[in-house]
Amino acid sequence: MASSYRNSPVCVLLILLSCCAGCCFGFGTFGFDFHHRYSDPVKGILAVDDLPKKGSFAYYSALAHRDRYFRLRGRGLAAQGNDKTPLTFSAGNDTYRLNSLGFLHYTNVSVGQPALSFIVALDTGSDLFWLPCDCVSCVHGLNSSSGQVIDFNIYSPNTSSTSSKVPCNSTLCELQKQCPSAGSNCPYQVRYLSDGTMSTGFLVEDVLHLATDEKQSKSVDSRISFGCGRVQTGSFLDGAAPNGLFGLGMDKTSVPSILANQGLIPNSFSMCFGSDGTGRISFGDKGSPGQGETPFSLRQTHPTYNITITQVSVGGNAVNFEFSAIFDSGTSFTYLNDPAYTQISETFNSLAKEKRETSTSDLPFEYCYVLSPNQTNFEYPVVNLTMKGGGPFFVNDPIVIVSSEPKGLYLYCLGVVKSDNVNIIGREYPIANNISLFHNCYSY
């Protein structure tokens, strides 16, 4: 089977659910828009224009470099329910992909009283939401190519009338052994897989300003716990998540879990990524009727958004074999180890009609094919994945189009990178129009 290339927006819907005794419960939903760091809307917000051109060798090389340099640690998910309205951030549910800030997706959140806004990175690969706070080491702003200085807000518990400290005897305090007494401020420290990348501080509680995700939205304020990040190191000082990180994992410390425990939403959320770098996030989204579902494969120590794939089909050639993979919004590409990588890539290569280009050392992709400058149409093998439970998920446009203007070279590449360890389905590898993932229950 083959598919003709087309450039159209693709949406990935990630529903995180938690179920009890075979039943799923739901509440309302809240939403936010988000944006990729290199997207045009974010360039406008930050006045940053000295970025790699989308589709260039430099663009995809930078994405892969960021993946290697800034791979975060945990993952998580949660449940369907009744008919309360979804929630989103008070500033809107938009998200933006910001390539100059680590190729991550960002959204604008509002915290405290008086309310302060922060441009935070969204990450399903970690749990804690933290903000730069009374900083010893953090980024206070950016210099744009035009020379304009863009100042970031820095949170301080002393300037918010609704702020309070989280004591060490709180159930959310994971470093109680480091506390001198039960009433002391609860410390936190999050180490990320990138060498030397860390956020350290103490937990605070304050108001997160939300709104119902509907045409006539209503304001909803929720008291949440988050990290007052006094010291940031590594990637956080080099452009990735400089103004805070919004963890979306399964742990009790994540904001979706906190909102669900307060009864505001079901323990679920959805994220949609558009090809233009914009997107949306909605808390409490229950998905659409009839969509495919698959269970998570959970670890007891640190549960993540880990699913099991039981069959791979490339160009109509289906092979049954099982492997697990993690959905991670903080990773750009899809990384697969063997045998999955070899099975998919070699089958794709055997069916590709264009000549393979082997001199692509500047790219993270191994399988790329030459297009003529005037070529407007071409076909490539369709890729389908079957998840545990039997649900097929179609990979929309499993390729990336790459141009090298100095060389006059135009390529399309299979958008998969070989991994030596964990399998990760990244943000730039859209599987179908929506995916629903459920913890402890699934149905078709």
Positions annotated as catalytic residues are 123, 328
Phi/psi for 93 (5° steps) reads -100, 15
- Do the beta carbons of residue 444 and residue 23 sit within 8 Å? no
Rg (CA), the chain: 22
Element (H, E) at 260: helix 255-261
What DSSP character marks residue 421?
S
Short-list 172, 67, 75, CA closest to 126: 75
Give first-to-last CA distance, the chain, whole Å: 25
Q: Which H, E and C letters describe 57-92, residue by residue? A: HHHHHHHHHHHHHCCCCCCCCCCCCCCCCEEEECCC
- Do the beta carbons of residue 282 and residue 273 sit within 8 Å? no
Residues sharing a CB contact under 8 Å with residue 23, sequence separation 6 or more, in sequence order = none
267 vs 25: CA distance, rounded Å: 8
The residue type found at 244 is G
What is the number of other CB atoms lying within 10 angstroms of the CB of residue 240?
26
- Do the beta carbons of residue 51 and residue 309 sit within 8 Å? no
What DSSP character marks residue 23?
B
- Do the beta carbons of residue 82 and residue 268 sit within 8 Å? no
Q: Which two tokens stand for residue 331?
A: 């990773």
Short-list 153, 50, 37, 154, CA closest to 101: 37
Short-list 195, 412, 385, CA closest to 309: 385
